[in-house]
Amino acid sequence: MMRAWLLPAILLLAACGPGPEEAETRHRFMAMGTLVDVTLYGVPAAEAEAAAREVETLFHALHREWQPYGDGALGQLNHALGTVPGTVPTDLATLIAEAERLAEATGGLFDPRLGALVKLWGFGSDETMPAAPPPPEAIAAWLATRPVEYDLGGFAKGVAVDRAIELLQARGIEHAIVNAGGDLRAIGRKGERRWRIGIRAPRDAGKVMAALEAGDDESVFTSGDYERWFEFEGRRYHHILDPRTGYPTEGLASVTVLHTDAALADAAATALAVAGPADWPATAAALGLEAVMVVHDDGRIELTPAMQPRVWFTSEDYGRQARVRSLP
Ligand code: AMP
Ligand code: MG
């Protein structure tokens, strides 16, 4: 087996082109519970490696700081919320203020204060998956009291991707993709061509449903009910929670948002999933989005007029299911 792998790898290296400056480099690491790819174009190998390592360090640091529980800044804040008010580091305070602004813009559908509910459901840990839903009384108690515990999981990845891109730009890098588990921001180009982005199919594991060519600076974020879920007594329960009911959202299998700002795209994808099949266009409009694609539970696909010309489907089946839906 080893030998079978080795040969194509060598061929690939040989095909990389004339000089190291012209090649595409890719560095991959695990952070924030997901695989992160840093792809750079036109950057000499040593410089690319150093830049990717900095991005990796950044992701690990932010993950530590923004984990809802533990020793990081957010963990300490959540711990202190139950006791005496302490001081919040400026960076975290800014992040929470931004999250609160998004909560307001979405009428509370994006709810960074639902940490205790996420914990109740058992989605708070990267390592373990819950075995059963919480008892209904526990959910009713959360709804009645709404204790404040921050969980920034709905947009922390987006903020991290934005910061990673800023870090690369500060190093003079103009052509890059930072891809965290399929959610990404792309800047510049891949030489003569535009960066090509794949969008996963929510119900065909591992398959790409649609593709698009990124503009000069674009983020593509998808929220889906297939990312973290468990099955209990024949029902699926997933990690995007509706703060109005305390239960996982229903109706949309995935939401993909295109925007310059990765943080906004990330939060928006989560918020639109909560808004659901009837109301996602209103929430998209409230957030100032233009390009959105949603996949319904039953496979129907809806695209906004701005998204429609940007994507192409990888099979006619997907294309047949697709309709354009305007924003209010
Ligand atoms: P995403 O994959 O970006 O949609 O984020 C999902 C994560 O955001 C969950 O694992 C929770 O940590 C958190 N979350 C779940 N429901 C919400 C919600 N309604 N608003 C904000 N964050 C949420
Ligand atoms: Mg999100």
* Residue 154 Cβ contacting ligand 1 at under 6 Å: yes
Taking the model in full, what pTM does it have?
0.92
Establish if 284 belongs to a structural domain: yes
Q: Kindly state the percentage of the chain with pLDDT values over 90.
A: 83
Alpha-carbon gap, residue 268 to 196, rounded angstroms: 22
* Residue 302 Cβ contacting ligand 1 at under 6 Å: no
- Residue of 241, 254, 272, 280 to mutate, ligand 1, most atoms within 8 A of C-beta: 241
Alpha-carbon gap, residue 289 to 86, rounded angstroms: 36
Separation of CA 97 and ligand 2 centre (Å): 17
Establish if 314 belongs to a structural domain: yes
Indicate which atom in ligand 1 lies nearest the CA of residue 267: 3
Domain that holds residue 304: 4-66+154-324
Residues 6+ apart with CB under 8 A from 187: 165, 168, 169, 174, 175, 176, 177, 216, 217
Establish if 108 belongs to a structural domain: no
What pLDDT is attached to residue 236?
92
Establish if 294 belongs to a structural domain: yes
- Residue of 110, 237, 239 to mutate, ligand 1, most atoms within 8 A of C-beta: 239
Alpha-carbon gap, residue 290 to 121, rounded angstroms: 33
What pLDDT is attached to residue 19?
53
Separation of CA 324 and ligand 2 centre (Å): 23
Establish if 98 belongs to a structural domain: no
Asked if residues 218 and 261 have their Cβ atoms less than 8 Å apart, the reply is: no
Chain centroid to Cα 90, Å, comes to: 24
Q: Comparing C-alpha atoms, which of 92, 61, 60, 94 is closest to residue 76? A: 92
What pLDDT is attached to residue 192?
93
What pLDDT is attached to residue 82?
67
Separation of CA 2 and ligand 2 centre (Å): 38
As given in the structure block, the two tokens for residue 57 are 């360090």
Alpha-carbon gap, residue 50 to 40, rounded angstroms: 12
Establish if 228 belongs to a structural domain: yes
**Domain count of the fold of the chain:** 1
User: Between the CA of residue 300 and those of 7, 256, 280, 311, what are the distances in Å?
Assistant: 42, 14, 14, 16
What pLDDT is attached to residue 85?
63
Separation of CA 204 and ligand 1 centre (Å): 22
What pLDDT is attached to residue 124?
81
CATH code: domain of residue 9: 3.10.520.10
Ligand nearest to the CA of 106: 1
Q: Which residue's alpha carbon is nearest to atom 5 within ligand 1?
A: 154
Establish if 100 belongs to a structural domain: no
Q: Which residue's alpha carbon is nearest to atom 1 within ligand 1?
A: 154
195-208 residue pLDDT tens: 999 999 998 888 99
Angle made by CA atoms 198, 202, 205, in degrees to the nearest 5: 85
What pLDDT is attached to residue 4?
37
Establish if 143 belongs to a structural domain: no
Alpha-carbon gap, residue 267 to 159, rounded angstroms: 10
* Residue 241 Cβ contacting ligand 1 at under 6 Å: yes
Collect the ranges in the chain with pLDDT lower than 70.
1-22, 82-86
20-72 residue pLDDT tens: 445 899 999 999 989 999 999 999 999 999 999 999 999 999 999 999 988 99
As given in the structure block, the two tokens for residue 88 are 């919040």
Taking only Cα atoms into account, the Rg of the chain, rounded to an integer number of angstroms, comes to: 20
What one-letter code names the amino acid at 56?
E
Indicate which atom in ligand 1 lies nearest the CA of residue 242: 19
Indicate which atom in ligand 1 lies nearest the CA of residue 112: 21
